[in-house]
Amino acid sequence: MKILTRYILTEIAKVFFLSLFILMSILILEKINFISNMTRGSAMGGRELFGLILYTSPAFLVVSIPLASMLASLTTFSRLSADNEITAMRAGGASFGRLLKPVVLISAVWMVFSLWLSVEILHKGNYLFNSQVAGYVSRRITTALGERVFFDKFPNLVMYVSEKPIGTTLLKGVFIFDSTGGDKPRLITARQGYLGTMANDNIILKLEDGAIYSGDKTWYREITFRNYEVVMDVGLAQRKVFDKGAREMSPGEIVDDIRARKSKNIPANGEFVELSKRFSLPLACFVLGVLGAPLGVRIHRGGRWGGVGVGILMIMVNYLLLMVGEGLGMQGKMNPIAAVFLPDIIMGTLAVYLVYKVSKS
């Protein structure tokens, strides 16, 4: 490997891994906060928390690698340009196209790695994460159920508690919406209740001084009680997560789901969007990586970190385009495949234009 290529690759790699570490740290901290809210402050072991972070890491990497790729090439070429190293290289006979080759090479490597994660690993991690969270909450409902929060982790059952004294299983001001009856749901209210666990690990809620309201459009019934028991099937709550959504499916499974939906004339915009993202995000690694090089040359003031501000701005623009594209695709206002690839198309066009301008300057 020639000295010049090795030098540029080394500079890009150093910034890439630093940027990736920062982006991953931000996302992991946000996810830890999400997990804390999900479990409502109940004690979670370090091993369980590490497992959840590990399962969701592929999703973080697929999002972070394209951004880190652009920050790395942009910052590197901004620094090289500010230190007049680009000028010296070109004076020595190296064209900008020659300097761009290491960027193309390393961006292609990130793209292939991200594609492997997106196609082979991402859906498995999403599924394991959702399964673990659902199972954890189901097994620890006595601590996960919080005050003044609608708790819906059990299928067809929504609970609301006005007050829950710390360190007790006592619940005050209990409200339950039970839709297991289909078009004849029940409302259950009680002054207070107690949570307990049965021999088969199911949860039992013993209610006191309340009423049951049921009916439909033609009839209405109210039953008052002094004592009433509601049994919640923990196994059913855990089995609920086995109904995979598009995020928990492999690309092949998504294609099968789309075909099944089409045969039943059911819209599949969300499935098309998710399938397209499995390929658009890896492609963004290459597009954004190449875009960063000419952009860094054009905006080189500020030295080594002069391009960071511009890089953050470009990240925001790319994220906004992705969100807008997803929204248009989900709503059917735009072809879902074209909508998801919209950021790649726009950023790719900008990259080609800037490469041409820098090469001619």
CA 53 to chain centre: 12
Angstrom distance (rounded) from CA 36 to CA 210? 32
Given a cut of 70, whether residue 142 has pLDDT beyond it is no
The confidence band for 241, taking pLDDT boundaries of 50, 70 and 90, is very low
Is pLDDT at 299 greater than 50 in this prediction? yes
Given this model, what pLDDT does residue 60 score?
92
Expressed in angstroms, the distance from the first to the final Cα of the chain is 27
Please state, in angstroms and rounded to a whole number, the distance separating the CA atoms of residues 288 and 295. Answer: 10
- Does position 16 have pLDDT exceeding 90, yes or no? yes
203-215 β-sheet, strand order: 151-154, 157-163, 170-178, 186-197, 203-215, 220-232
The answer to whether 49 and 32 have CB atoms below 8 angstroms apart is: yes
The overall average pLDDT reported for the chain is 83
More confidently predicted of 198 and 53: 53
Q: What is the pTM of this model?
A: 0.72
Residue 28 · residue 53 · CB < 8 Å: yes
